[in-house]
Amino acid sequence: MLSALVKARIASLFSSFFRSRRSKQPRSPLMKVLVAVLAIYIMASMLFSFGALFQAILDPLQMAGLDWLYFSLVSLLAFGVIFISSLFMTQAQLYEAKDNEMLLAMPIPPRLILVSRLIMLLVMDYFLEFFIIAPAAVVYWLHTPLTPTGLFYFIAAFLFLPLLTLALASLMGWILAIISSRLRNKSLVISILSIALLLGYMFAVTQLNRYMEYLVRNGAAIGEAIQRSFLPAYLLGKAVAEHSLPNLLGFIALALVPFLAVYFVLAANFLRIVTTKSGTAKIAYKERPLKASGAMSALVRKELKLFFSKPMYIMNAALGVIFTFILPVAIYLKRDILLSMFGTDIPGIAGMTAPFTVVILCFLAATNFISAPSISLEGKNLWIPQSSPVSGGDVLLAKAYAHMVVCLPAVVFAALVLALIPDFSPAIKLLLLATPAAMTVFQALFGVAVNLRFPKFDWINETVAIKQSMSTLVVMFGSMGIVAGGAALYGFVLMNTMSVELYITLFTALLAAGSAGLFGYLKTKGGEAFGDLQA
């Protein structure tokens, strides 16, 4: 029974990548190759980035004879990345999964349901951990000979680290579920918390060089602080670096005991947790005049209500909006940001800061994929919009319009702020609005069209449709490729042929033409295809 539950979750996780939802048939070999190439690229980028970071950390620590501190820092980094990445997923998978009632209605012991979900979360934690500890191990063993004993201690220690992370994430997820169930605007609260965590992470990344300098100067003091405040990390570092069995056993105990304690608490209360419907504050009814509106505005409001009610939707599909608000203010207040990115010492780059700003805003627009999972999120309720007295084309266009309503205000704000910079020419100031706006409109329509081709309705949790579906990957990386390809075409081929303002204008016109084509498709043939979809 347990193996069947785990297999079902794994099959659901990967089905969207290798099976067409519309035809019920496996995807074509070419599509599988493209997915594999994309996955390899993403994984290679992560491994290289962490490898470069660990190389910078290792050298000063080995010179100071603090090899154990290296592994302690690796464990702290792995713990933080896994915890932040899995916190809200743990809440959704354990306590708010859509199949809770269905599984509990079957003759399946609740503890097996809990164990299957913990196993799935643990597998995902191990997957994330691999991209951190693998480059850490390679970097270390390029400087220190690898021995079977060292390999044993390394694997044993980091094998138990995700247990500690999962225990804390499960406990925090439970607390968040309890708190959010009693809030009227729980989505807003969770979204604000998520954004705060993200901005904190981004700030830490920007301060990395300062942290590295401090580490070089104060390695011994940091080691003592870790020993006092983060005992598990200290024991892990000592165990791996010095091949210490007592330290290894101590770390395993500190990881295993909290995990088992959390498991037994959840197992004893799991049925009550997932079936209790906590009340929220009642809203007093106030009589107001009835306002009539058109079908399209009602459809758009429905899409916006869905978007703003899902924190995971906001955090994954609209991060570009957040940074589009932040970037122009940062550029306006600190012009050296642009100068440091595009210095005059690089041939051909001098004087190109303004066009590159247009490229950056377009790139941020490409990271927003609100419309890409919008059809998939209909789920088992797909029949409702299909049976509504509106055309399928209008239903699809409403999803694109909702994307534009969320994203275009940030583009307008960025253009207005950047227009205050006196160095930018009038033509560039106009393009700072026109080109990112055209990219946003194209992205909105492109997302719906791709999701119509690759819908996913068999999700257990909305996060699967938002983060782990083919349509979101194709839309985001496809749009990024359009922006990057357009910039590369000018930089390597057309720079000496036409002015940058003319080229950006032509690129904007192409985006507008593509949007017109997608609009016509969604209004006609796309609407017919939507009516034929089956959830």
Among residues of the chain, what percentage have pLDDT more than 90? 26
Residue 346: per-residue pLDDT: 43
Tell me the DSSP string of 135-203.
HHHHHHHHHS---HHHHHHHHHHHHHHHHHHHHHHHHHHHHHHHHHTT-TTHHHHHHHHHHHHHHHHHH
Residue 441: per-residue pLDDT: 96
pLDDT in tens, 479-490: 999 999 998 898
Instruction: Report which of residues 136 and 281 the model is more confident about.
Output: 136
Closest by Cα among 138, 132, 140 to 241 = 140
Residue 439: per-residue pLDDT: 96
Residue 23: per-residue pLDDT: 46
> How many other C-beta atoms can be found within 10 angstroms of the C-beta atom of residue 140?
22
Phi, psi of 26 (to 5 degrees): -60, 150
Closest by Cα among 147, 142, 365 to 240 = 147
Instruction: Report which of residues 18 and 332 the model is more confident about.
Output: 332
Q: What average pLDDT does the structure give for the chain?
A: 80
Residue 443: per-residue pLDDT: 96
pLDDT in tens, 381-404: 888 888 888 899 999 999 999 999
Tell me the DSSP string of 186-246.
HHHHHHHHHHHHHHHHHHHHHTHHHHHHHHHHSHHHHHHHHHHH-HHHHHHHHHHHHT-HH
Residue 351: per-residue pLDDT: 56
Residue 84: per-residue pLDDT: 76
Q: Of the segments 2-6, 43-47, 524-528, which one has the largest average pLDDT value?
A: 524-528
Using an 8 Å Cβ cutoff, are 318 and 195 in contact?
no
Instruction: Report which of residues 192 and 111 the model is more confident about.
Output: 111
Residue 200: per-residue pLDDT: 67
Q: Of the segments 68-77, 167-176, 439-448, which one has the largest average pLDDT value?
A: 439-448
**DSSP bridge pairs for 26:** 19
Residue 343: per-residue pLDDT: 47
pLDDT higher than threshold 80 for residue 278: no
* Mean pLDDT to the nearest integer, 360-388: 90
